[in-house]
Amino acid sequence: PVAFGLLVLALTGGTVAGVRLGPKVLPSLSRRRLLALALTFTGVALLATGLVPDMATMLLTAALAGTGAGVAANTGHTLLDLEAEEYRRPRLTDHLHAVVRAVIGLAAVAAPLLAAAIGPHRVESGKFVFAHGGAAFVLMLVGALLLPVAALVLAKTDDRSGVPLRHDLRDAVRGDEPTAAPAANGFFIALEGGDGAGKSTQAEALAEWIRAKGHEVVLTREPGATPVGKRLRSILLDVSSAGLSHRAEALLYAADRAEHVDTVVRPALERGAVVISDRYIDSSVAYQGAGRDLSPTEVARISRWATNGLVPHLTVLLDVSPETARERFTEAPDRLESEPAEFHARVRSGFLTLAASDPGRYLVVDAGQEPEAVTTVVRHRLDQMLPLSEAELKAREEARRKAEEDARRRAEEEAARKAEEERLERERQEELARLRAEEEERQRRELEEAQRR
Ligand code: TYD
């Protein structure tokens, strides 16, 4: 009974830990790939749990299996939300979660029955003895079944085909950004969020701060950062374009983006500048995908094509409730701002889902706070991510040289002081020796005097 209790504890405790760990595990790895890996891990751990005869090892493998299952559950949950969002069936998520729960419940009842039906078996061949109860066989069976499931998940849902899993995994373990990451030299930040989230204020504050570090900063926006973009923007936002077909709207935003990336963003990144874009691909996915009736994946695909796969190093999502945002509007609302509240609620959840699917590349900030507080949060994250500017590198080099110089000077001073001390000590010893000799001489003379007397 104790062993059984511990086994259950290891499995359930592991699962709880896994669910909590889920979002933090290899944050830069694609969630779809993580799901497949977590399933494989769980499968192998379950196989091992069934195979090993030793209790302590079994508890360890059971805890590992639990953790893997927890991570898989958490990741699967996030991905299910994403899928449901994609097919625009609000109840689909509930539905899928209910199915998953039913399957798990069924398995909890069926597994012990199956274990009882299999019963204990003993295989002996020479020195090799294999004696296990039905439960061990069931665990092994489930573990073995998980492996093809993992392979199927990877084959069906992989969103990074073309990039070997090995490379992705290596990058993720090292904490690097995924390999297909953006243009080389510069640093690309996208600011996203609903209307009235305070993106422009934050963009300016960040630009000023990054400039002060010595970087070239290009502050830009979508739609309308280029001459063609300006014309597209006026078509898109003019209230007289009401009734514009949704696909046309998506394509116009993508056209603006293509021109923007080609003529502004990429050249700046190639120069090594920091580019801050007020809105990027996620706005299309959230507004045209989640907000309208288009598939977010398709909208994202169009943008990916338009930008030739340029992904920001960091996307800052300024999250605020549409009600709070509305209070901030000062001008007459444009075509999109005039959309009903439900539209903006969908846009918001679209943004949040995107952020949840790739925690390594997103920073979600509560934009209901004071603007300064928001800037501080973003600055904190950028401090860890931004490469050093030429000026900072130079300052660092300077500081290093100065520290070396100081250390050398201190060492020299120390050596001189030591030499002086030694000299004084030598003199003191000599003086002492002289006095001692004098004293001896005096005593000798006194002795002689006494003998003479
Ligand atoms: P924005 O420039 O942020 O508006 P404003 O100048 O009023 O602050 O964005 C214009 C609108 O365009 C905004 O309502 C969101 C919408 N939009 C999309 O629907 N899809 C997109 O891809 C982009 C970039 C913006």
Q: What is the pLDDT of residue 90?
A: 59
| Span 28-69, pLDDT tens digits | 788 888 999 999 999 999 999 988 888 899 999 999 999 999
Long-range contacts of 155-162 (CB under 8 A, 24+ apart): 157/32, 157/35, 157/36, 157/79, 158/30, 158/32, 158/33, 158/36, 159/30, 159/32, 159/33, 160/30, 160/32, 160/33
258 sits in which H/E element: helix 246-260
Provide, rounded to the nearest whole percent, the portion of the chain with pLDDT above 70.
95
Decide if 449 is inside a domain: no
Cis peptide before 223 (omega within 30 of 0): yes
Q: Which residue's CA lies nearest to atom 19 of ligand 1?
A: 287
Say which CATH number the domain at 47 has: 1.20.1250.20
Decide if 315 is inside a domain: yes
Shared domain for 214 and 251, answered yes or no, is: yes
State the average pLDDT over residues 383-393: 87
Number of domains in the chain: 2
Decide if 64 is inside a domain: yes
Shared domain for 106 and 58, answered yes or no, is: yes
| pLDDT higher than threshold 90 for residue 293 | no
Shared domain for 195 and 114, answered yes or no, is: no
Give whichever of 59-68, 122-131, 179-188 has the largest mean pLDDT.
59-68
Q: Could you say which DSSP state residue 273 is in?
A: -
Between the CA of 163 and the centroid of ligand 1 the distance, in Å, is 32
| Cα–Cα–Cα angle for 173, 176, 179, rounded to 5 degrees | 105
Q: Could you say which DSSP state residue 23 is in?
A: G
Provide, rounded to the nearest whole percent, the portion of the chain with pLDDT above 90.
60
**If you write DSSP's letter for every residue of 213-229 in order, what string do you get?**
TT--EEEEESS-SSHHH
Decide if 444 is inside a domain: no
User: Phi then psi for 332, rounded to 5 degrees?
Assistant: -65, 135
Last residue of a domain, one of 143, 158, 173: 158
Helix (H, G, I), strand (E, B) or coil at 191: strand
List helix spans (H) across 279-389. Answer: 281-284, 296-307, 322-328, 341-357, 371-385
Decide if 337 is inside a domain: yes
Q: What is the pLDDT of residue 179?
A: 44
What is the rounded distance in angstroms from the CA atom of residue 420 to the CA atom of residue 227? 76
- Four-point Cα dihedral 69, 74, 76, 79, nearest 10: -160
| pLDDT higher than threshold 50 for residue 181 | no
Shared domain for 9 and 150, answered yes or no, is: yes
Shared domain for 49 and 134, answered yes or no, is: yes
Q: What is the pLDDT of residue 161?
A: 63
171 vs 144: which has the higher pLDDT: 144
Q: What is the pLDDT of residue 388?
A: 86
Q: What is the pLDDT of residue 6?
A: 92
The residue assigned the tokens 């979002």 is: 23
What is the rounded distance in angstroms from the CA atom of residue 387 to the CA atom of residue 175? 15
Shared domain for 215 and 143, answered yes or no, is: no
Last residue of a domain, one of 325, 352, 386: 386
Shared domain for 276 and 236, answered yes or no, is: yes
Q: Is the CB of 253 under 6 A from ligand 1?
A: yes
What is the rounded distance in angstroms from the CA atom of residue 395 to the CA atom of residue 443? 71
| Span 300-313, pLDDT tens digits | 989 989 999 899 99
Confidence of residue 84 (pLDDT cuts 50, 70, 90): low
Decide if 114 is inside a domain: yes
From the CA atom positions of the chain, what is the Rg in Å? 35
Decide if 361 is inside a domain: yes
Within 8 A by CB and 6+ apart from 446, the residues are none
Decide if 402 is inside a domain: no
Q: Is the CB of 256 under 6 A from ligand 1?
A: no
Lowest mean pLDDT among 156-160, 189-193, 275-279, 358-362: 156-160
Atom of ligand 1 nearest to the CA of 336: 14
Q: Is 10 exposed, middle or buried (0-12, 13-18, 19+ CB in 10 A)?
A: buried
Say which CATH number the domain at 282 has: 3.40.50.300
What is the rounded distance in angstroms from the CA atom of residue 290 to the CA atom of residue 346? 6
| pLDDT higher than threshold 60 for residue 88 | no
| pLDDT higher than threshold 60 for residue 231 | yes
What is the rounded distance in angstroms from the CA atom of residue 149 to the CA atom of residue 407? 61
What is the rounded distance in angstroms from the CA atom of residue 357 to the CA atom of residue 205? 28
Residue 190 tokens read as 């996208």
Atom of ligand 1 nearest to the CA of 287: 19
Neighbours of 432 (CB within 10 A): 10
Shared domain for 152 and 14, answered yes or no, is: yes
Helix (H, G, I), strand (E, B) or coil at 96: helix
Give whichever of 74-88, 106-120, 199-213, 354-368 has the largest mean pLDDT.
199-213
Q: Could you say which DSSP state residue 91 is in?
A: T
The boundaries of the domain holding residue 132 are 2-158
Shared domain for 226 and 350, answered yes or no, is: yes
The residues with which 363 forms a beta bridge, in sequence order, are 316
Between the CA of 223 and the centroid of ligand 1 the distance, in Å, is 6
pTM summary value = 0.59
Last residue of a domain, one of 137, 158, 179: 158
Q: What is the pLDDT of residue 89?
A: 60
Shared domain for 238 and 306, answered yes or no, is: yes
Q: Is the CB of 339 under 6 A from ligand 1?
A: no
Atom of ligand 1 nearest to the CA of 284: 22
Shared domain for 142 and 196, answered yes or no, is: no
Shared domain for 153 and 284, answered yes or no, is: no
